[in-house]
Structure 1
Amino acid sequence: MRINSGWVDRAWIGNCLAAGLAQSYFEPLEATSIHGTVVQMLLFTQLHLKPLVRWLDPRRETYNEAVGRQVDDFRSFINIHYVSERCDTPLWRHVDADCIPEDAKRRLSQWAARTHRRSDFAPLPGDLHHVMEQLYNPVFDGLGLLRRDTARAELAANPKVRAHARRTSERQRKEFRLAAARMPGHREILVALHRQPAESVGVTGWRSSETATA
């Protein structure tokens, strides 16, 4: 499936602001566009709407530069999902040769010797949360790029961080088990939804097509 991905260089022109899918498109996954839209709206509202200024041209330039950084980071983050040792098909040979940008290769080389950390990522204006180390952890783990021996050595060298990580992990494990114990099983939910409205089986945020068009 071919995807015509890309982004506009100038998201803010005159009195028009392109955000979310109007500004960039990378892949047919809602999470990426939702995340990008949230970051762009926070950038705009927190840094450019609050100050009441007469001349907006410098602010447009600052905003466009920040959004350009954001979409570049998204591109690198998404492309790293496709890092693989496979070279058995034209697709994977093309990915390896042409689809991993230089900044992503540089970071991967750097992180082969140590774990990634927040200081590796230039912050966006206003210190807004963006594509930083917490998003890379599950991706690296799934791709087999997370160096567990290196992570253990770094935690062992910092007892306070290690103790905090252990407490956090134990707390989350208990919370997840408790939540799982309270939830009905997947098939149980589907059967109940088939028999009666979603609200009566405790599924919140559900709107059927009949409800939406009523």
Structure 2
Amino acid sequence: MPHHHPDGPDRPTRRRFLQSAALTASAAEQPAAPVPAQAPPSVPARPVRLHINGKEYALSLEPRVTLLDALREVVGLTGAKKGCDHGQCGVCTVLSDGRRINACLTLAVMQEGRHITTIEGLADGETLHPMQAAFVARDALQCGFCTPGQICSAVGMLAEAGAGAASTVQPPPAALPQSLSDAEIRERMSGNICRCGAYQNIVAAVRDATGAMRRS
């Protein structure tokens, strides 16, 4: 009767097991074949009338075009910047019927019948809006990328405070006070990020503009 050696070819060894496991793992790590990207289905454009900075614009837009892209790419108003494009940085803030909104999070077709104000529409001819003037006087910017959104947000914020909107810092005022506390300004402006860190001067500018707008 033939005798089989315990380490013969018919007996699995630790080395063979490890080699087999390594080959299996290597095969599993091979990247899957890329799936060809498919273009999204086309959506027909539709007529859209937008009221921006006191002017009527008759546009032809796909329903999925954001207000930000319509402003920048179609109308040519590039003051509102595209930052995160997810509503987290506030760079694209504009005013819709006086209320601040993130232009990257709303569709252009949703703004029909509303009055949109961008940074380009705040000034009265050559006369700066008090908030713009305060930002200049306080040097409340560095690179300037977030500044249009900061200014539009501050204008909307003061309107909200004046209308009695509450915050986590203090109860709603009966009317816009002579000045908001620094903590109040920071809390109400917390949705606008300045990556340069010019917050101290931004707060000072908003505080100055509060008094100027109150007097006017």
TM-score greater than 0.5 by the shorter chain? no
Q: Structure 1 length normalisation: TM-score? A: 0.24
Structure with a larger share of its residues in helix? 1
Ranked by relative contact order (alpha carbons within 8 Å, sequence separation 6 or more), the top structure is 2
Structure with a larger share of its residues in strand? 2
